[in-house]
């Protein structure tokens, strides 16, 4: 077995969840998904596809009509992007892994902005790359980027910059000016940017296109930029395992080969569902976002009112990431909260060592009152 694989850490969030999964007395907010089922019209499209017998292998890069629809969707948000720049993948995580396989050789240097969803830092390690972490800094409960430090970390030796904004778990988002500075700098150093923008639509600030700033807003079609996306979050489709990549057109045929050797293709019936979802985005996404905003605005003030809790409302994403003063070991606290309070949260150190002492609460709850019940449990536990 390769040492790089043996060295991979198991998910600390899973470790907490394993302790409480299946227990009906636990209010679980540990995973990054809504508890709302995929909309009916999306599920119907998959059922119809199966009825028609679409049970065969399909194109490596995805159904042409879905690639076209995703290109139209992307163009409406960020300006012209042709379908020759789109690949449909088997989930956002698969999109990210394909991009890393495409760009990173063993021994290459990869810079990642952390804290971040652990898959993003594990993927370059799987390829045998050297990982350099640049940490966001917490200031009064909000995580901020030290842009000069990040720029200084990216040198001509840096093959790839990985950045996830809006960020899981912190909710931090890159500004347009920061994106432009990173793009300009990476053009000079010859560094690729892998931008994980799966939370771009889950953004709570007012913007003309209703989504978070994207590298696609300013990049040229041939820039060294790959953007990873997912149907999971904005379309309530976590279990369907579908995502997509936007890349320079010259990369696309090579991506087709890489998909062949990974998964061959995404299944057709799920792609039919994704087609319905992306074409019906106005029926799904705005409702999802306004509900998530309600969840955020319900949970955050209640948490802020507790002693020892430090947090700021996230600009994007679906998480409240907070520091619990007086508790240094996130994993131990998360396990105690499950066992002693019936509250399931993800430990901050699952996302970076510097987030030790922090906890992540996924606020994507269909029933908003569950959030208040969770806060009550935390409050009583803190008072013990």
Ligand X SMILES: Cc1ncc(COP(=O)(O)O)c(C=O)c1O
Both tokens of residue 228?
């990873």
Of these, 16, 17, 63, 93, which contacts ligand X (CB under 6 A)?
93
For residue 140, with 0-12 CB atoms within 10 Å meaning exposed, 13-18 middle and 19 or more buried, which class applies?
Answer: exposed
One character per residue 279-318, x = contact with ligand X (rule: CB under 6 A): ----------------------------------------
Q: Which is nearer to ligand X, 233 or 341 (CB)?
A: 233
Considering only residues 144 to 183 of the shown chain, the ones binding ligand X according to CB under 6 A are 164, 168
Residue 198 near ligand X by CB under 6 A? yes
Q: Cα(262)–Cα(272) distance, rounded to whole angstroms?
A: 21
Size of the site for ligand X (CB under 6 A): 13
Nearer to ligand X, 172 or 322 (CB): 172
The residue sitting closest to ligand X, measured at its beta carbon, is 92
**In the complex, minimum distance from the CB of residue 167 to ligand X, in angstroms, rounded to a whole number:** 7
All residues at 6 or more sequence positions from 72 whose CB lies less than 8 Å from its CB, including other chains: none
Does an H or E element contain 110, and which?
strand 109-114
234 and 202 Cβ atoms separated by less than 8 Å: yes
Nearest-10 crossing angle of helices 268-279, 281-304: 80
Question: Could you tell me the smallest distance in angstroms from the CB atom of residue 339 to ligand X?
Answer: 25
Instruction: Report the nearest approach of ligand X to the CB of residue 29 (Å).
Output: 14
CB of residue 236 to ligand X, shortest distance in Å: 11
Contact between 32 and ligand X per CB under 6 A: yes
CB of 243 to ligand X, least distance (A): 4
Of residues 96 and 299, the one with the C-beta less far from ligand X: 96
Closer to ligand X at the Cβ: 165 or 268?
A: 165
Check if the beta carbon of residue 295 is closer than 8 Å to that of residue 368.
yes
- Nearest to ligand X of 78, 229 (CB atom): 229
Q: Which of 20, 39, 62, 92 is in the footprint of ligand X by CB under 6 A?
A: 92
Identified binder of ligand X from the candidate list 117, 203, 215, 351, rule CB under 6 A = 117
192 by DSSP, 3-state: which? strand
* Among 113, 196, 274, 347, interactor with ligand X by CB under 6 A: 196
What contacts 311, CB < 8 A, 6 or more positions away?
141, 300, 303, 304, 320, 321, 322, 323
Q: How far is the CB of 164 from ligand X (least distance, A)?
A: 5
Looking only at the bridges linking them, the beta strands covering 343-344 and 309-310 are unpaired
| Minimum CB distance to ligand X, residue 380 (Å) | 30
Contact 133, 121 (CB under 8 A): yes
Pick 162 or 375: Cβ nearer ligand X? 162
Reference 229, options 262, 261, 277; nearest CA is 277
Choice between 91 and 124, CB closer to ligand X: 91
Cα angle vertex 121, ends 117, 127, to 5°?
A: 140
Q: Does 91 bind ligand X (CB under 6 A)?
A: yes
Tokens of 76: 């409406």
* C-alpha dist (Å) from residue 209 to 200, 213, 313: 10, 9, 21
Q: What's the length of the chain?
A: 384
Q: Give min distance, CB of 263 to ligand X, in A.
A: 13
Residues in contact with ligand X, shown as a per-residue x/- string from 232 to 261 under the rule CB under 6 A: x-----x----x------------------
Burial class (CB in 10 A: 0-12, 13-18, 19+), 103: buried
Binding site for ligand X (CB under 6 A): 32, 91-93, 117, 164, 168, 196, 198, 230, 232, 238, 243
């Amino acid at each position: 077995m390769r040492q790089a694989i043996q060295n991979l850490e198991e998910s600390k969030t899973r470790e907490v969840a394993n302790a409480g999964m299946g227990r009906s007395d636990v209010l679980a907010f540990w995973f990054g998904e809504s508890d709302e089922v995929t909309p009916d019209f999306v599920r119907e499209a998959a059922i119809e596809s199966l009825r028609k017998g679409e049970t065969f292998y399909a194109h490596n890069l995805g159904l042409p009509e879905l690639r076209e629809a995703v290109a139209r969707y992307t163009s409406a948000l960020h300006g012209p992007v042709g379908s020759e720049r789109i690949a449909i993948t088997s989930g956002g995580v698969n999109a990210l892994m394909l991009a890393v396989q495409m760009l990173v050789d063993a021994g290459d240097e990869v810079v990642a902005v952390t804290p971040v969803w652990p898959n993003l830092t594990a993927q370059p390690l799987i390829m045998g790359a050297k990982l350099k972490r640049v940490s966001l800094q917490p200031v009064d409960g909000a995580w901020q980027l030290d842009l000069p430090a990040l720029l200084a970390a990216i040198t001509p030796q840096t093959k790839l910059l990985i950045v996830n904004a809006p960020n899981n778990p912190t909710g931090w988002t890159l500004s347009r000016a920061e994106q432009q500075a990173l793009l300009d700098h990476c053009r000079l150093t010859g560094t690729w940017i892998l931008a994980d923008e799966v939370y771009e639509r889950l953004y709570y600030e007012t913007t003309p296109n209703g989504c978070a700033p994207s590298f696609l807003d300013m990049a040229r079609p041939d820039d060294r930029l790959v953007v990873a996306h997912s149907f999971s979050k904005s379309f309530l489709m976590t279990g369907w395992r579908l995502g997509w990549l936007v890349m320079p057109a010259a990369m696309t045929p090579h991506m087709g080969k890489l998909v062949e050797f990974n998964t061959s293709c995404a299944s057709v019936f799920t792609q039919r569902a994704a087609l319905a979802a992306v074409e019906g985005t106005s029926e799904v996404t705005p409702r999802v976002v306004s509900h998530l905003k309600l969840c955020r605005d319900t949970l955050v003030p209640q948490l802020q009112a507790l002693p020892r809790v430090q947090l700021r409302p996230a600009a994007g994403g679906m998480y409240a990431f907070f520091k619990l003063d007086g508790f240094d070991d996130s994993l131990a606290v998360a396990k105690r909260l499950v066992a002693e309070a019936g509250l399931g949260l993800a430990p901050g150190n699952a996302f970076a060592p510097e987030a030790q002492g922090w906890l992540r609460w996924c606020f994507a709850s269909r029933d908003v009152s569950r959030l208040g019940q969770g806060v009550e449990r935390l409050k009583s536990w803190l008072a013990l």
